[in-house]
Amino acid sequence: PNDRWHQLRALARSRYLPGTFDSDITLVDWEQTAYTRLPLAGRGDEVRARAEREAREQALSFLHWMQTGAPRHDGGHGYPELRLRPDATGTADGFAMTPHIRESRRIRAEFTLLEHHLTAAARAGTPGAETFTDSVGTLRSRITLHPGNGGGAGLDLECLPFQLPLGALLPVRVENLLPAGRNIGATHLSAPALGGHAGQWAIGEAVGALVSYCLEHRLPPRAVRGAEHRLASFQGRLRESLGLALDWPDRLRTGPVTSAGSLYATL
């Protein structure tokens, strides 16, 4: 089924022998649990503690509504059978071990990925998303931006299938640091296109391969991008050893992503 509950399941009991598990397990990280009142950074420990407490209370309020007031798929209201699962999360209360913070710190990179490189609206009249000669992977996603501390509405933008540029993985100053998630060189608008499971997997895979390549050839990461023959050698390894596609076929490049490529996790 095309709904959040099923898409975000960590465990589907129907895939196991009858009696193995007594229920599905779903990780709930939906808009209704997104806390935006106070920031977690830059305001001191007291404000952070309050923000975490209020975020927990908001999530509990949503769980209570799901248990008592949510319209049921079979009629009536409320799913009283829903419960938190400390045994699955490894915590005393069934919440995650740490808060899920959507906005991450991002590196200042040699190249910054922009919304204008990706979205169908910004690329209207072109044969697809921006192409990058230093591509280290491909992605299909959307830009789904949730409201922040300033309030307002969220944002949902269609993206074209796009490439992951190596330059967005390279800090302009620090030599011994590489990003491993959507903390790459991106903006507040473009970063959500990298935040799903597929995006973070692609970034981690590219960075892991880059580390291995640099150790083998005794090179700093930026030297790989800085020389055409080294870049070609590294991209060849990505294609041949890892089987990665570094560009989209022409027949796929112009098709916008009309549904989220991957959704965040969640109860």
CA atoms of 192 and 102, how far apart (whole Å): 9
Q: What is the pLDDT of residue 204?
A: 93
Most confident of 26-40, 106-120, 152-166: 106-120
Q: How confident is the model at residue 148 (pLDDT cuts 50, 70, 90)?
A: low
Q: What is the pLDDT of residue 34?
A: 85
Average pLDDT, the chain: 87
Check: CB of residue 213 under 8 Å from CB of residue 237: yes
Domain edges within the chain: 4-89, 115-253
Q: How many CB atoms lie within 10 A of CB 225?
A: 21
CA geometry: angle at 129 spanning 131 and 234, to 5°?
30
User: What SS3 string covers the chain?
Assistant: CCCHHHHCEEECHHHCCCCCCCCCEECCCCHHHCCCCCCCCCCCHHHHHHHHHHHHHHHHHHHHHHHHCCECCCCCECCCCCCCCHHHHCCCCCCCCCCCCCCCCCCCECCCECHHHCECCCCCCCCCCCCCCCEEEEECCEEEECCECCECCCEEEEECCEEEEHHHHCECCCCCCCCCCCCCCECCCCHHHHCCHHHHHHHHHHHHHHHHHHHHHCCCHHHHHHCHHHHHHHHHHHHHCCCCCCCCCHHHHCCCCCCCCCCCCCC
Q: What is the pLDDT of residues 110-126, one digit of tens each?
A: 999 999 999 999 998 88
**Higher pLDDT among residues 33 and 170, named by residue:** 170
Q: What is the mean pLDDT of residues 180-195?
A: 88
Q: What is the pLDDT of residues 214-242, one digit of tens each?
A: 999 999 999 999 999 999 999 999 999 89
Q: How confident is the model at residue 260 (pLDDT cuts 50, 70, 90)?
A: very low
Predicted model pTM: 0.75
Q: What is the pLDDT of residue 54?
A: 94
**Measured between alpha carbons, how far is residue 121 from residues 27, 147, 247 in Å?**
32, 21, 21
CA atoms of 239 and 2, how far apart (whole Å): 33
Given a cut of 60, whether residue 156 has pLDDT beyond it is: yes
Q: What is the mean pLDDT of residues 63-68?
A: 96
Q: What is the pLDDT of residue 101?
A: 79
CA atoms of 225 and 111, how far apart (whole Å): 11
Q: What is the pLDDT of residue 189?
A: 87
Given a cut of 60, whether residue 262 has pLDDT beyond it is: no
Q: How confident is the model at residue 266 (pLDDT cuts 50, 70, 90)?
A: very low
Given a cut of 70, whether residue 14 has pLDDT beyond it is: yes
